A and B are shown apart, each in its own frame.
Chain A
Amino acid sequence: MKRFRRFLVSDHAAGWAFILPSVILIVVFGVIPIVWGLILSFQKAGLISPEREWVGLQNYTQIASDPKARQAAVNTIYYTALFVPISILASLFIAHALNRKIAFVRFYRLAVFIPVVTSTIATGIMFLWLFDRNYGLANWLLGRVGLGPFGFFEEPSQAMIALVLMTVWGWLGFDTIIYLAALQGVPQELIEAAAIDGASRWSSFWRVTWPMLGPATLLLVVWSTISALQLFDEVFFVTKGGPLGRTSVVVFYVYRLAFEQGLGGLSLAGYAAAIAYVLFLVILVLTLAQFWLGRRVVHYAS
């Protein structure tokens, strides 16, 4: 009792009180689902039927022989390989363009950031019409210069690229803001010193600015990779995995298994949980590798 009273007046208690709301949220929406998912991944279980059966590693071994899981994995890698470099290079370019004293620069910065705070659904509806094969603005403009028409989301070979374009547009603002902040942290005297030493603007960028952006780049690479591997909303709303499963990415496949097909007699929720856990491990390993690599090549200003 005494100890409890001492705890109540200690700094610990105040600290716990402050973080309690977020701890509860993290436990409820983070820790419990993670543990539950792990348990589920060793069971043959549906979500509607209360029947559960322990099957050991069977759900995990099943993944290797599932062509749809392989297709989803290939699609996810393809998407990530396009999305991460494109979004980082594009945002670096835009951040650089916005990091100067020009008229209305605040307006431009705002304009670049607006897509980030726009709902995915609104973005999706807009791009569906922009990229419509027959009535879209994109095809109309491309037609003016003699290109197309492209099917975009409707064409199996183009749907993923269209999805990359849409998501890059949607997330560019976030990356740009990070780079902009990093660019403004680059000491002006270093740039001036390089200029005095006769460095061109190009080499001053690559020799001075780019290394100073290292921490920001590492953050963005890690962040973009994780979110690219977890792509879901846009696929769910815009392409529904189609056409012909060409945009069926891992998380979307997990959703379909667990919440659309695995509800009743086929009991696929456990299998879906196993795939989700494999994805989790892949992301974990990849992120650790990126940080390990990052420590070796990234320059941190002292």
Chain B
Amino acid sequence: MTRRLLVILAAVALLAGACTGDDDEGSPTGETPSGPVTLTFWHGYTDAEADSLNALLDQWNAENPDISIEPLFVNNDKALQKLTVALQGGEPPDITYQYGSSLPQLAAAPGLVDLTEWTQQPDVDWEDFVAGAREAATFEDKVLGVPALIDNLAVVYNKELFDAAGLEYPNDQWTWDDFRAAAAALTDPAEKRFGFSYPMDASEDSVWHYDPLLWQNGGSILTEDNSQAAFNSPEGVEALEVLTGMAVEDESVFLDLQNSPYTGLFNSGKIGMLVTGPWDLSSFPDVDYGVEILPGFDGDHQTIAGPDMWTVFDNGGGRAQAALDFIAWLTAADQMKADALATGHLPFRLSVIEDAAFVEEFGATIPGVDVFAENLANVEQARPVLAAYPQVSEAMGLAIVSAMLGEKDAQTALDDAAAEANDALALGG
């Protein structure tokens, strides 16, 4: 009801802005800290994820008395907003967790460290990161982040519901028609049970659930030079019609406007199948679930990855160098293994993925997590990394939601969104 939040955000932003004025230009200075430093470190991990991270931090702080890391919890969904406020104050954190999609916006931030040179150092072993993660960290030929976490989408299904309906479990040869038929068969209006659930908040989450269908069917989000929308192609329309067919004709989809009840509903056996990532698996203790790679179009089963980043800000006095030393350690193979075993986070260094003994141990931690780990190999494309992407994403999100609500047919919805996306692309490049 009030505009309190807005006023406080704005006020903090500019109060801090009024107090300081020094802007360091954002490239690594090469200087090393002259004495012990304490680095601020923002992350969005909770529960088991936070325990694992804190254990690693304790280890680092014990071994490196000169560079101590002070963690601060910042909700991932609002990390960019909070960073904006800190930047206005001229005091960004030394290291912060950010979504990969925020990089184009952050590129203009004063003090953001360009990591391109740093990645050439042998101890970083940059080429050891999977290709998709390296690409997502790069904007306009500059490396601006270090991969922190990589997810991908796969099918998570409730085995008991499949057994009760007399259906075969999903397999790696499934088509989207098979998926649709299973969803319809699992749906039971009397029991308020749905075959599938879809995030309907028109956010990027609504969009990236659609992207793999688009790509599998041979479509793409933008034209090759990123100048025009391409998702309203016949391939894109056909891909969206899979979803609208389920949502509008079959009514087999729980339309999750809030994009949060679905975990609880799946865990209570009210939803048969989800397309989701490994982060949700720990929310399903009551369900005997299975994990399978995405269904495909014409045998193409590619998926999408959502890489998140550690970004580094230069606060002078050699702090940036200290931050980079820490990040190199945090993302090195040993730490990645320890964290993966404790949390189920997918490893994304080739040397770790190819370590058979480790992969076996990893698969035993949380059921199904090994399928997600292997599914990283099915990541073939990345979303465009450009400044106008938030607008493109918003237009697509609205199109998908309006089509799935039956407000517009798939073609009209995507055409309208393409017009809007083209305006944004012309404006922001």
Task: Give residues in A with beta carbon < 8 Å to B.
Answer: 28-30, 32-33, 36-37, 46-51, 120, 128, 132-135, 153-154, 156, 167, 170-171, 227, 230-234, 236, 239-240, 242-245, 251, 254-255, 259-261, 263-266
Contacts and interface: CB of A to CB of B under 8 A. Distances in A.
Interface of B: 1-11, 13-15, 18, 23, 80-81, 83-84, 87-88, 102, 104-110, 192, 200-203, 254-255, 257-258, 261, 387-388, 390-391, 394, 398, 401-402, 405, 407, 424, 427-429
Contacts of B424: 266
B407 to A, nearest CB: 7
A244 B402 contact: yes
26 contacts: A28-B15, A29-B7, A33-B14, A36-B14, A47-B87, A48-B84, A48-B108, A48-B109, A49-B109, A120-B1, A154-B200, A154-B255, A154-B257, A156-B405, A232-B6, A233-B1, A233-B2, A243-B200, A243-B257, A244-B407, A259-B9, A259-B84, A263-B80, A265-B428, A266-B387, A266-B428
B304 to A, nearest CB: 21
Given A135-B192, A240-B201, A227 B15 contact: no
B390 to A, nearest CB: 5
A251 B109 contact: no
A153 B259 CA distance: 13
Contacts of B107: 264-265
A192 B405 CA distance: 59
A254 B10 CA distance: 12
Of A50, A132, A263, A265, which is in contact with the most chain B CB atoms at under 10 Å from its CB? A263
A50 B108 CA distance: 8
Given A47-B13, A244-B405, A263-B80, A234 B106 contact: no
A148 B105 CA distance: 44
B105 A132 contact: no
Contact of B257 (A33, A153, A245, A254): A153
B387 A264 contact: yes
B292 to A, nearest CB: 26
B401 A244 contact: yes
A242 B388 contact: no
Contacts of A36: 10, 14
Contacts, number: 126
Nearest to A157: B407
Contacts of B84: 47-48, 259, 263
Of A132, A153, A259, which is in contact with the most chain B CB atoms at under 10 Å from its CB? A259
Contacts of B427: 266
A265 B105 contact: yes
Contacts of B407: 156, 244
A232 B2 contact: yes
Contacts of A234: 1
Given A47-B88, A234-B1, A32 B14 contact: yes
B108 A37 contact: no
B1 A170 contact: yes
Nearest to A239: B257
B110 A50 contact: yes
B7 A263 contact: no
A229 to B, nearest CB: 10
A261 B13 CA distance: 16
A33 B428 contact: no
A264 B54 CA distance: 32
A263 B105 contact: yes
A241 B9 CA distance: 19
A33 B1 contact: no
B23 A50 contact: yes
Of B1, B203, B424, which is in contact with the most chain A CB atoms at under 10 Å from its CB? B1
A266 B258 CA distance: 28
Contacts of A48: 83-84, 87, 105-106, 108-109
Contact of B388 (A50, A255, A265): A265
Contacts of B401: 242-244
A122 to B, nearest CB: 14
A260 B84 CA distance: 10
A251 B257 contact: no
B248 to A, nearest CB: 14
Nearest to A129: B261
B201 A259 contact: no
A133 B427 CA distance: 39
Contacts of B11: 28-29, 32-33
Contacts of A263: 80, 84, 102, 105
Contacts of A156: 405, 407
B239 to A, nearest CB: 20
A132 B261 contact: yes
Nearest to A132: B261
Nearest to A263: B105
